[in-house]
Amino acid sequence: MVNNENWNRLDPAWAWDTFQPSQETPWDRRAAAHLYRRAGFAANSEQLEAALEQQPADVVRQFVQSQDQNADFERAADSLAQAVLASGDPKRLSAAWTYRLLHTPNPLREKMTLFWHGHFATSAAKVENADLMWQQHQLLRAESLGNFADLVQGIAQDPAMLIYLDSASNRKLRPNENFARELMELFCLGEGQYSEQDVQQLSRCFTGWEIKNNKFRKNRYQQDRGQKTVLGTSGEFDGEDAVRIVLEQESMPLFIVRKLVRFFVCDEPTASDALVQPLAADFRQSGLQIAPLVQRILSSNLFFSQHAVGRKIRSPVEFALGFLHAVEGTTNTLQLAEGLAGIGQGLFYPPNVKGWDGGRAWINSSTLIGRANLAQRILNDDSTRFAEGNLESFFAMHQVSDSTVIDWLQERLLVQDINPAVRRAIQDNFDQDARASEQRLRSLLHTLVSLPDYQIG
């Protein structure tokens, strides 16, 4: 573990300067795999080799700027989503998203959609409307690398969010405080950045906002048009004004940048104000553009340093998608989505308005067993394919032999090499396994992704 004191002494100028490979920190397969794990879910061999032909900053730029739409992919993804929506069952939405996670040509966009889903957490367990949940999902994806102010204004009028926070019918005589509170505490500013009076005054701004026939509308008869004082600013504010005032607060960019640093760089310790201040200043100066902020984080010295590599615990999505992407795997997305929910990350079903805690909370004795069992189910599923074939043909295609397969896999799956004694035991078991080659290889892959080492990303 990196010493917290050393972390807080980091020079912000060095931390956020563009990473330049050196002998101490080379741009090799391990470094490229680290980038692909964090900016997406993992890389296959072709992606790793292509990355090594470029500078790391150029690879990051491609992640951020990629807007290519694969027509076949979009048709398949939209067709699956429409079939789910036609069923009216929100529990099946996660399968439609899992399909995108497996096949997307834009992994960073999906990774950021996942980030915002945890940030603006909304659960179908309460909303109970597949169309509204998918509508919010489409908003998060569309603005995932766009403008944060536009995203917050969109969320403020999102029917699923308003239903989830009991603000679907906000009346002048009884303003609902839930959304006003969460807008400041969870979405924009953080704890301790507002008073109870700010909550009360802010909630008045959103009166008259309601849902009618599953659509947002403003009911002018229920609007409080009186004078309000929000975070030290007074006026006859409505909801859009309220969002703008919240976004203007000095603490807002620090709060958002700190969450993105935790998401992309390391689970702990919490980044200090001094460390994130340069990014916060750039974020504000850019007009709250998300893409340049993410690009700077992923291109930085800090991101490729010992303070970041191996300093995150994989979420359930990163756990399962990680090994599938590395071996070009596909599987039954409905069963995969159900498996993810079973180990703590049901897509469209965050546990509460704070979203998933992440970090060490992902791991306990039960979830470790659950992860191993999920990997086993995926690998035993007849629908699971590797580059559209079996695992034996996949490794043959990549000219990977029994003597090199562990090295090949650990370079793509793990942050660092397996302990030598553990590796020898795994190799001995693999060599002595008398089953057919396909069964041996699937068992080996299962062993590797069940290691504690693989839970670190």
DSSP characters over 348-417: T--SSTT----GGGG-SHHHHHHHHHHHHHHHH-TT-EETTB-HHHHHHHTT--TTTHHHHHHHHH-SSP
CA atoms within 13 A on the CB side of 406: 20
pLDDT at 1: 45
Tens of each residue's pLDDT in the chain, 457 residues: 455 557 778 999 999 999 999 999 999 999 999 999 999 999 999 999 999 999 999 999 999 998 666 788 888 888 889 998 999 888 899 999 999 999 999 999 999 999 999 999 999 999 999 999 999 999 999 999 999 999 999 999 999 999 999 988 889 999 999 999 999 999 999 999 999 999 999 999 999 999 999 999 999 999 999 999 999 999 999 999 999 999 999 999 999 999 999 999 999 999 999 999 999 999 999 999 999 999 999 999 999 999 999 999 999 999 999 999 999 999 999 999 999 999 999 999 999 999 999 999 999 999 999 999 999 999 999 999 999 999 999 999 999 999 999 999 999 999 999 999 999 999 999 999 999 999 999 999 999 999 999 999 9
| 145, 295 Cβ separation under 8 angstroms | no
Query: What is the CB neighbour count within 10 angstroms for residue 255?
Result: 20
123: its two tokens? 């659960």
Q: How far apart are CA 454 and CA 315, in angstroms?
A: 11
| 286, 5 Cβ separation under 8 angstroms | no
CA atoms within 13 A on the CB side of 434: 0
Give the domain ranges of the chain.
Answer: 31-129+312-457, 147-311
pLDDT at 69: 67
Helix, strand, coil percentages in the chain from 3-state DSSP, rounded to 5: 60, 5, 35
Q: How far apart are CA 104 and CA 74, in angstroms?
A: 9
**Torsion over CA of 171, 174, 179 and 182, rounded to 10 degrees?**
170
pLDDT at 385: 97
**C-alpha distance from residue 236 to each of 51, 176, 178, 240, 241 (Å):** 54, 18, 21, 11, 9
Residues near 259 by Cβ (< 8 Å), separated by ≥ 6?
119
| 41, 317 Cβ separation under 8 angstroms | yes
Q: Please, which residues bridge with residue 209 across strands? A: 218
pLDDT at 4: 59
Site of tokens 């391990």: 30
